[in-house]
Every structure is written in C-alpha cells, then in structure tokens.
Chain A
Amino acid sequence: MSLLYQIFIDPFAQMIASPDLLVQTIWEGFVGGVLYALIALGFVLIFKASGVFNFAQGIMMVFAALTLVGFHEKGAPAFVALVLTIGVMYLLALGVERVILRPLVNQPEISLFMATFGLTYLLIGGGELVFGGNPKSMIASELYLPSGSIDLKMLGGTVSLQKLDIAAAVIALVMVVGLGLFFQNTRIGRALRAVADDHQAALSVGVSLNQIWVIVWFAAGVVALATGIMWGARSDVSFALQIVALKALPVLVLGGLTSIPGAIVGGLIIGVGEKLGEFYWGHIFGGGIESWLAYMIAMAFLLFRPQGLFGERIIERV
C-alpha cells in the first residue's frame, strides 16, 4: 500500500507542493533532450540518405569536440580551430564514403551497421592515440559561449537557467531550422530528399549518390561538432561521452528512424521523462534509474506504434 502511495500519489503531491522544482526539473530535462535530439538528428540525416544505421554518430561527436580542443591546444585561435575542425569532418566524410560506403553498396543493412561499429573503434583508438585519453575541457569561453545562470523568480521559488543551456537550445533550434530550409529550398537539399525517397529513381535522374553521401556525412559531422561543443561545455570532453550517444538510440527510435521532427520530439520526451522519472520516482527504486528509463519509455511507445511516432508507416507485403 505504501509503495503504491509512493508511486502514484506522493510524486504528484510533491509536484503541486513545489512547482518551481518541477519547472526546474522539466527545464533540465528539456536541455538534455535537446542535446539527445541533436545526436539523433545526425543519425536521421545519414539513415535517410544512405540507409546506414550509423552507430558512429556518438563517437563522431566526441571526435569532433576533441579535434577542436586539440587544434586550440596546438595554438590555433578558437575560430580558426573551429574552421579546421569542420575541415577535418569533411575529410572524414570523404574518407567514409570512399573507403566504407562505396565498396559496401547494396550489401545487407547489418553489414553496413557493423562497418560503422568498425569506424567507431577506429575513431576511438585513433582519437586517443592523437589526443590522449585524458578528459579535456571545452574551450567554451573562447567560442563566446555564455556562462553563469539567470535566476527567475516564479511560482514561489527560484528557477535557475544556465545561460549555456539556453545557448544550446538556441543553437539546436537554429540548426534544425537551417537544415529544414536547406532541405526544402536548395538544389542539393532536393537531391538529398530524392535520394532519401528512392535511390534508384534519384540515380536515374542524374543525382550523384556518392556526392550526396559525402554531403550527408559532412552535415552529420557538423551536427556532431555542434553537439560535441555543447556536451563538452557542460562536462568534460572525453570518450566517456559516447555512453550519452547511446541514449540517442531510444530517442531516434521513438521519433521514427527517418523523421527529423521525430528526432526533436523524441529527444524532448526522453529528456524530460528521464529527468522527471529520476527526480520523482528514482529514490523508490534506489536511484540511478536514469540509466535505463529512456529505453523503457521508448519501448513503451513502440509497443503502441512500432514505427515510432513520426516514422513512415511500415507496410508489409508478402
């Protein structure tokens, strides 16, 4: 009985009793969700255009952030380092297309999936060799990212919003809108959508698949860089961050593998749900339920919509 009370009544009573805490928790979940959504966005871009379930997206994020910090340590000014890192991400996209995707065209999905695992190992090993295994701190202030927090007096308490988190949300919004406009209004964007729709039809009207793949992987690399900067500014940059990237999987699946709005909505649901669950229900189970709650939430949604919230309806024909 007391357990039922703890699960079904007590948390809600707490929420009503101190709404400022509730708002604070939701805000934190929201920011986490935005960042999950950004990682998932990279996945979606690549999955749409090349049908590859890119496991390496998380590691690309860490790799990009490390490269940025590495260039800065070598003495490059922050913005030069940023440009150089974007260059490195372009080279990575070129390399991936030339070395991995091109030879593996038309192979089973699972082999391509596995190849991105290989890429993950390669980037972890290579990244640690070049940059060392120690956590580094992100050059947040050099990139003019704000620090400190804004305290809002509301609902009979104080809600403090980290300026960095606000910046993260704004940057995420800008990226999503930017990508949306790019897809809708440019020549390359239309070609991308054509490829996503039907590879062969796109080929037959003269879209170069190879070129599109490079562009998509490059776009995913830039998204990874932005995500890496944000996560890196919140905690340190190290390969431990890749566990965060695994959280993007439920986000991705919840939203539907091919939908950009899905990635955003999924990210927010997972981010907020996870924080609320940990804060209000976690102590009943002894804490740390954040590690699996996201997956359970996604699984619960999937049981009702097996294609995710915004995924294309799965039509099966015999």
Chain B
Amino acid sequence: MSTDRFTFMFKSVHLRFLIDRLARALITVGGLATIVSILGIFFFLFREVTPLFTQPSAKLTQRLSVPALLLDEGPAQVAVDEHREIAQVFTSGAIQFFDLASGQPIPLDMPAQVKSRQITAMASGGGNAPRLAAGTADGEVLLLKVGIMTEFTDQGERKKRPHIRAGQPIPLTKSPIVRLAYRVNDQGSLLAILSKDGRLLVVRIAADDAGGSHPIITELPQPRGTVTALALDALLENLYVGTAEGQVVHVALSETESPEMRAAYAVAAPSTAVTMLGFLSGDRSLVVMSEDGAVSTWGLVRRADAPSGWTLTQMHALRSHNGPVTAFAPSQRVKGFVTGDIQGNLFLHHATSSQTLLRLAVSEFPIRAVAFAPKGDGLIALDGAGQLSLYQVQNAHPEVTLQTLFGKVWYEGYDQPAHVWQSSSGSDDVEPKLGLLPLAFGTLKGTMYALFLAVPIAILAAMCTSQFMHQDLRAKIKPVIEVMAALPTVVLGFLAGLWLAPLLERMLPAVAGMALVLPLLVVLASFAWHLCPLSVKRHLSQGQEALLLIPILGLGIAGCLWANASIEGWWFDGNVKAWLSNRLGIEYDQRNALIVGIVMGFAIVPVIYSIAEEALSNVPKTQIAGSLALGATRWQTVLHLVLLSASPGIFSAVMIGFGRAIGETMIVLMATGNTPILDWNWANGFRTLSANIAVEIPEAPHGGSLYRVLFLAALLLFIVTFVINSLAELVRQRLRDKYSHG
C-alpha cells in the first residue's frame, strides 16, 4: 500500500476538520447550485414567455401647444420620426415641424403652392412613403412629399432634416374638395376625391408621369346616399365609399375598364353615418368607423352566392367609442390601429386578436389627428385645443392572446375563422398566424399512432420475457431490446424518411397483407406446436417460442413483400393509391402519420418494454406459484393475476412512452411533411410542437412574438412531459412500496 493513501491520518486534527468543513460547504453549494440550475430551466423558460401576456401600457412623455397658425377647424395630419425626435403637424393652415427635444418649431421654407392655397382635405399615400395629397378650396389637388430625412455625418452623428416638396396643383373641379383618398404603388398613383357639390372623381397618374401633368380623370356615378368617407387600397383596384346611411359601396377600378359599382354593404346601424374609412397595414382589411363610435374591420371574403364571387364581411368588431370617431391611424408594421374620438379619447386596437388593448384619455377636446411612430413604440395626437401629445407605448406582442393561440381566428384572406399556424412569409404585410392548436394536434396525432403500434408490442414482449421466458434467455434478450432505446433518433428519422417512406409507398399492399398474415401465422404456429408430440416439445425451453417465431415472422414478411404486386392486384384493383383515392377519398402523402407511427413506435417500444417488464417481474413469485399450483394455466395466471397486479406499472410505462413520443423531434421532423393541418388521417403528414420549434426558431428574431410563442411551445412540452413523468413515477413508486412490504 502506498503511504499517501493514509497520510490523512497523520495530519493535524484541526486541518482535517477544516478540510471536512470546506468539503461539506463545497459539495453543498455545488450540489445545490447544480440542482437549482437544472430546475431553473423551467423558470427561465417561463420568464421568456411572460412578456407575451403582459398588458400593454402607454406613458405620456411630452405635451406641447402648437402655434395659433395651426389652430383651425379643418383637416389635420400628424407624424413622428422613428426616434421620436421630430414631430410633424399638417393642418389647413400650414405644415410645421417641431424639435421634440426643445419643443421649438423648426423653421422651414414652405413651397409657394402650399402657402397660397387653403387646404380643405388631405390624405396619405399609404405604406411607409412620405407622400401626401391635399385638396384645396379651389378644387385642385396638390401632391406632396413631406418627411424627415435621417443623415449621418462623417463623424457618425445622426442628423435629421425635415423636407417638403410639392408638385404643381392639378385642377379638377370648381368647388372645394371635401374628402380625399390617395394611394401610391409601383404602377402609379390613384386619387379619389369628393367635391363639395357632390361629384366623385377618380384620378389616375402613371408612375412615369412624375409631375402629374397628364392625370386621367374619371367621374363616378352617384352612389345612393350622401358620401361621407373614401378609402383606396394599394392595389389601386378597390375604392370603398362610405355613406351617411351607414353603407359602404365597393367600386372596382381598373386601368383599362370603366369603374364598376360592385355592391353596397350595410356596415353600420341604419342611418348611422360612416365617419371614417381606413386600411390596416397591407391594405387588405378595411376599418369602418361610424357616427355612433363603432369600430370594426371588414374584408373581402369569397362567397359563392355573391354576384362577383366576393362579399365584404365583418371580421372583427372592436370596442366602441362613446361618440363619433374623428381620427384614425394604422400601425405601419402590425395589424394594429388607433382611433380617436370627439371626447378626446384614444383607443389602441389590434385586429388579429380582436381586442382593444388600451384606452387613453388624451384631452377633453376632440382628437384631430393621430399617428403611430414608425416602430410602433410611440403615438402622437393632436387635439382640438392645439395640444400635441406624445406617448411612449409598450406593446410588443399585441397579436398574441390565449384566444389567438388556441382559438379560431379570422385572418385576412380567410373565408372564416380558422386554426392556422403560418408564422412567416415573404412580406411584412402578411398577418402572422400563430395558432398553436394545429401543432398540438399534430403532436397528439403522432404520439397516438406511435402508441398504437408500440403499446401492444412492448407489453406483449414484456409479458413474454418476464413470465414465460427462462432466466438465461431473458438475460440475453432484455439488453438487446433495451439497447434500442439508445439508438439516436436522427438515425430512425433518416431511415423513416429516406428508406421506409419510399418503400412503403410501393409496398403498401404488402403492409396491408402483413397486418392480416402475421397474426394468422402466429396462431398457426402455436396450433402446430400444440399438435407436436411431447418428444419434440421437450427440446424447447421456456420462452424459446420467441426465437422460433423469428424465422416464421421473417418469412411471412418476406412473403408479403414478394407478393406485393399480387396483393395490389387482388385487393386494390392493381393500383393502391388510386384505390385509396377513389374508394376511401384518401390522398396518400409519401411522408405520413403511418410512417411516423411505425418508426416512432419503434423508438418507444424499448421505453415501454423496460418499465412494463420491471413491473411485471416484480409481482411476487409466491403468488404466481400459488396460482399455478391451484391449476391455472400459464396464461390464466398471467391474465388474471400478474397483469392485474402490475397494471399500475404498465400504465406508468405507457405514460412514460407517451411522454417520450410527445417530445420526439428528429423523427417527426424527417418523416412527416411538417404541414400544420388538422386531420386525423393516417395517410397525410402533420407538424408537431417540437419539430416546429426546430424548424422555426433559427429564423425567429430574438425577443419577437414568434420567438416567444416558440418558447411557449417549449414550455408546454416541458410541463406536459414533466407532469406525465411525475405521475408515472408516483405510480411506480407506490407499486414498488407495495411489493417491497408485501
């Protein structure tokens, strides 16, 4: 023996106790830290998810009075830049910029065209472009570019410079323009105007006609009723005309044909005027605001019975104001918008989630104009008393509520409310669809198909090795089955996707044949064995039936594969896919639930087997011996005694298999088409929560709604598996205690 092993005996006692205490402290701290940190995973995930459900809030950051020049009864527009440093106010009197840091107006040369005219209507060109149109008292339209340019100096400092450019006025009518709608896109720009004498004109300006010198002017027929509001979409194809009778008239415009009045829709209570019309970002949802303060969004929805095939349908009704709505602004990035009323209140709405997020009492005077900061984190409002109010808004995840996550939501472009997961798409204008239900459904579907295959095989195998098999053989076979649990799932996924899926597509008849032939073969084999003379039976020790069955089943499988074409001919009219499609209406996808069921089943067989085996073999041998001695057969003993006593353990085995299958990622990622659909059919694919996380999180912006919703999915998986495993563990421990005492 080396001496150093025993040197501790010769150290001073003090030193030894010191070391002992230090070690105790270290182990306690280290051990606790490890345990706390792994349990801390849950709290960290939770922390990442909570911002989804925090209430939005707004804080008044600044308030300043505008000069008297801007105080009038006419129309108004406001805007603020993305850093909330410069505000812009445009009224019939003037255009004025304010430096928000000092609260002072920024001196600026006004173009002569604007200065000399009285503005009676104004509209923005939509999108992020700083384009405005203004109608004058003389029946002219001025096209303006008003905005704030951000420049960087050589030193890297940020400088902002407001600018105004105006085109030549376009004369249209004799009487003042009272309503105006304006949209610009790549093909050109379109204006819709209403003059005081009731004429409704559409003005088209081609993209290459920069000065607006060759406008194409079309006069629209008079709609029934008094026109009160206009809205144009960015396609330059649809004009919506609101009337004092509570209707919206849809006018289809096109470059080549004359305007067509499609239909009139009642969008407000009878004889309640539509006070304002507007679009959400993307110009697909029409926001209707009426005299009684009602706010709702509408969209064109496909309807077979409508004359044009489409009809304007209410998608979301939002919280009503107490008086007429006087101001409206859409968010530039999400499907949110803000409305202001005559009593000085601002409501912040979100269309997707159908909710009104915030109510701000800005002043006691009517709101004249309101606008979002470009990033959606600020609001600016101008009220009738000439006060400019600036708010900072905390509203990171307006589209996520429990309802949008788990309920049906009416998305833009859909005919009805639906459960949809479609997080990303090419354009920013498309509404993110974060419905988790199709994914949760897919998870459950994959799990169920896997359990359907795995549970019978695993439990039968567990019964066989624990009850009917000789100890020596069992010691060899058990590890082989259990080692399956260690197989990397990426391997199984690869085999499922690239080997099994194409094979099964060709060999579907053979598999259908196997489902019939293999059980039959087992029955036949056992019957044949029953007929065997005792002299033969003697050579087989207990449990070797399994070994005997391997070649039999193997031959059966090979036979079915060999007869594939013949089975297809006999049962499926020679073409199984056509047969499925014609007879059962099933369209067969190459990567489908059946594949996942087989392969994921394969992955969880050893999990279930291992625990069920333990439960079955823990049933006291004395009880079994008693049963056998009383004359019960092996099978009767197992069925009535062993299975019954071990049933909690088997239940917990199935639970743990369930937990494994729920979180499995690679197999479903590789063996399904990852299409998030709600369909129990075995022949099509699905998308699970776990595969969805793997697919989408690399592209999800850090801290965004999608990112957090994916965290919510992870948290759900965590909780579900944790609870299931804990329950299973509890059942197992109880069972173990019972038999260790009994």
Partners in one complex: no
Residues of A within 8 A of B (CB): none
